[in-house]
């Protein structure tokens, strides 16, 4: 986030990371962008003492402890904005900092942020869930827009549901990809070739989704009502886990196909019977 903000006119003044090498690398990258490298601090409190806007990019389970640590080290935080980047957490973990006078909020980019140093336009067009006290919320919206994103609000009580949706697309898809990759390799393809082929296929799915609703983008045996093909899939599944995943997801696809008028009710019932968990599993499941 520090690197991305540097690309759009912000100049981070100080950094902390659990990895000293990581913070030095990020500081050098920012220095090449802005002409001035931020200072690398050995403790989070050292950053908090000098920052007017503080971004907490820590694991969700560490957020409350971090807030307590910073509040103890910085008893006066009036005029400062503190934003966490968690998707699931509300504002409660930041209460110790709010009690010290900080305006607290959240800024969650709905995007895939890997450990690699990002390209400048990574968050262009991405959604940002923002929340917080008025000043913090205003700053979060400003940062989101400067990054090229689209800020929106989520009720704090529904943040777990929101984050579930994000995880289904950003994370669970990788589990599906992993199962597909294993199946292709067992079918005889080399690992690299299997990876490249599946990436191309996944990109095609994403392109279709960018142009039409999921129900309209649906292809494959479920959309055609091909019960025989689905039965062959389940029989060929290399293990029970793959078969179970395919069953559950195909049941969702049946509902989607019905909603999109791709299947008649009689065909949908036939597919649901085939896909019912009691109908059996893959090769290793018996």
pLDDT one-digit tens code per residue, 116-175: 667 888 999 999 999 999 999 999 999 999 999 999 999 888 999 999 999 999 999 999
Q: Can you tell me the mean pLDDT for 74-101?
A: 94
Could you tell me which residues are beta bridge partners of residue 84?
Answer: 56, 106
Question: How far is it, in rounded angstroms, from Cα 106 to Cα 167?
Answer: 18
At which of 154, 173, 190 does a domain end? 154
**Residue 85 confidence (pLDDT) above 90:** yes
- Are residues 196 and 228 located together in one domain of the fold? yes
Residue 100 sits in a domain whose CATH number is 3.40.50.720
Residues 258 and 172 in one domain: yes
Task: Supply the pTM of this predicted model.
Answer: 0.84
- Looking at the structure, tell me whether residues 125 and 15 fall in a common domain: yes
| Structure token digits, residue 10 | 């912000």
Domain boundary among 154, 184, 217: 154
Q: Domain range spanning residue 182?
A: 162-285
Structural domains in the chain (count): 2
Domain end position, chosen among 97, 124, 154: 154
265-280: burial string, b at 16+ Cβ within 10 Å, e else: eebbeebeebbeeeee
What six digits make up the tokens of 174? 């990788």
Same domain, 130 and 22: yes
Does 278 have pLDDT greater than 70? no
User: pLDDT tens across 107-123, in order?
Assistant: 999 988 875 667 888 99
182 plus 118 within the same structural domain: no
> What are the tens digits of pLDDT across the range 196-212?
999 999 999 999 999 99
Q: What is the pLDDT of residues 29-68, one digit of tens each?
A: 999 999 999 999 999 999 998 889 999 999 999 999 999 9
- 171 lies in the same domain as 145: no
């Amino acid at each position: 986030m520090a690197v991305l903000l540097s690309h759009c006119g912000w100049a981070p003044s100080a950094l902390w990371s659990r990895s000293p090498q990581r913070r030095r690398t990020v500081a050098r990258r920012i220095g090449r962008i802005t002409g001035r490298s931020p200072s690398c601090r050995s403790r989070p409190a050292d950053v908090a003492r000098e920052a007017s806007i503080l971004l907490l990019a820590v694991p969700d389970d560490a957020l409350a402890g971090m807030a307590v640590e910073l509040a103890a080290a910085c008893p006066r935080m009036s005029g400062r904005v503190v934003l966490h980047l968690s998707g699931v957490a509300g504002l409660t973990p930041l209460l110790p900092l709010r009690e010290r006078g900080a305006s607290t909020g959240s800024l969650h980019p709905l995007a895939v942020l890997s450990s690699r140093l990002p390209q400048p336009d990574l968050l262009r067009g991405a959604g940002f869930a923002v929340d917080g006290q008025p000043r913090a919320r205003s700053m979060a919206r400003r940062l989101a827009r400067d990054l090229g994103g689209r800020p929106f609000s989520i009720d704090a009580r529904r943040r777990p549901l929101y984050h579930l949706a994000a995880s289904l697309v950003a994370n669970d898809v990788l589990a599906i990809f992993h199962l597909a990759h294993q199946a292709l390799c067992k079918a005889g393809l080399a690992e690299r070739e299997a990876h490249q082929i599946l990436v191309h296929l996944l990109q095609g799915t994403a392109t279709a989704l960018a142009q039409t609703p999921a129900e309209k983008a649906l292809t494959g045996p479920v959309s055609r009502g091909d019960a025989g093909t689905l039965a062959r899939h389940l029989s060929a599944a290399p293990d029970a886990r793959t078969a179970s995943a395919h069953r559950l997801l195909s049941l969702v696809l049946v509902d989607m196909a019905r909603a999109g008028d791709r299947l008649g009710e009689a065909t949908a019932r036939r597919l649901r019977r085939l896909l019912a968990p009691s109908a059996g599993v893959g090769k290793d499941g018996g």
